[in-house]
Structure 1
Amino acid sequence: MKDLFKLPMNLQFFAEQDDEQETGADDENQQQDPPERKFTRAEMAGIIAAEVKKATEAIVQKKDEEIQQAKTEAEKLAQMNEDQKSEYERQQREDALLKREADITARELRAQVTVQLTEDNLPAELTDLLNFSDADACNDSYQKVKDAFAKATGSFDEAVQAEVNKRLANSADQPLGNGQSAANNNNPWSKESFNLTEQGRILTEDPERAKLLMQQAKK
């Protein structure tokens, strides 16, 4: 037993192994969970100061513009006599009142048009194409937009129906011909040749063609 305790031990070897294991574990942790960016108090103070400076500069710029506008207004008034000043101030008040009334009118017309679009089954986005300067202009622009939308939609529906008719006429397994009567005579969903058995067969074998036949029968 005494000889066992006298065996030479390479303590440096074990120390290096422990260091390598700890280093490997640290590298693995860094790859799996990258450290979150943390700001010091000084960095946070710098960020806040920069944002405050930006906001302050914007306020100062707006204030300078208002001061310059007021200065220009004062210089203009200084060159006028009393009658001209009275007329100018009256015109300014009238313009401000007209602008306020126009804003109110536009809001009211927009609200009315939104309801009308819903009743006419039209998309609400069409409001952006309308003229809200007054009721007459709004009604005129609304009718034009409505007609244009209906025309475009109708053209699209006609194109779809034409394609449906073409596919029905060119059906390989059960040609329907080019005429409406020929189509109905071979269409198990039509009144002329209503057939539940044939309907079931087509629904099973060719669901897409069945949809086209059902749509054709509704014409």
Structure 2
Amino acid sequence: MKKGSTGFKPENFSQPDLPSTWKAMEALYDSGKAKAIGVSNFSTKKLGDLLSVARIPPAVNQVELHPQWQQPKLKAFCQSKGVHLTGYSPLGSPGTSSIKGDVLKNPVLALVAEKLGKTPAQVALRWGLQSGHSVLPKSTKEARIKENFDVFDWSIPEDLVSKFSDIKQERLLKGTGFVNETHGFYKNIEELWDGEL
């Protein structure tokens, strides 16, 4: 944010100084004040730019990641660089009014859930774990929290995992709040996500 600015508006964001910011994060790690350092919402390009100046690579990149936004390019890049990928909104944030789309109502998830006797939420979480990334579901309901934990003693068979490639891909968290054509650091959505739409 620009010094003295108030409010979450695109024009209040300044150009990020990634090398200096990361150097400060590395100093926190070196001092023992942080056991690990990482990033969030970094595209392949942004992560590559960071890795070109980083002495300590990020341990993790936390991004939107679920069956409806699988991000195979970013996943492959992170794996090749030893950066763990964590998916926030692995259920697509059901009930959030600002997000359009409902991952848990996807017909592929419904089909797999029915075949396995699981819920679509459990299938989405298990898909994430089987894909090799961690998942961060959230819920305020005790029953759902318990249900979300019931994903470790079973797996999705390969013939059903292959059906996930049929799911139409769509980013649910567009990032429009970071974009302003005339006053923002990012002029459009494509620039914000480096074309990884």
TM, length-normalised to structure 2: 0.17
Greater RCO (CA < 8 Å, at least 6 residues apart): 2
Greater percentage in strand: 2
Q: Which structure's residues are more often helix, by fraction? A: 1
User: TM-score normalized by structure 1?
Assistant: 0.16
Which protein shows a greater Rg? 1
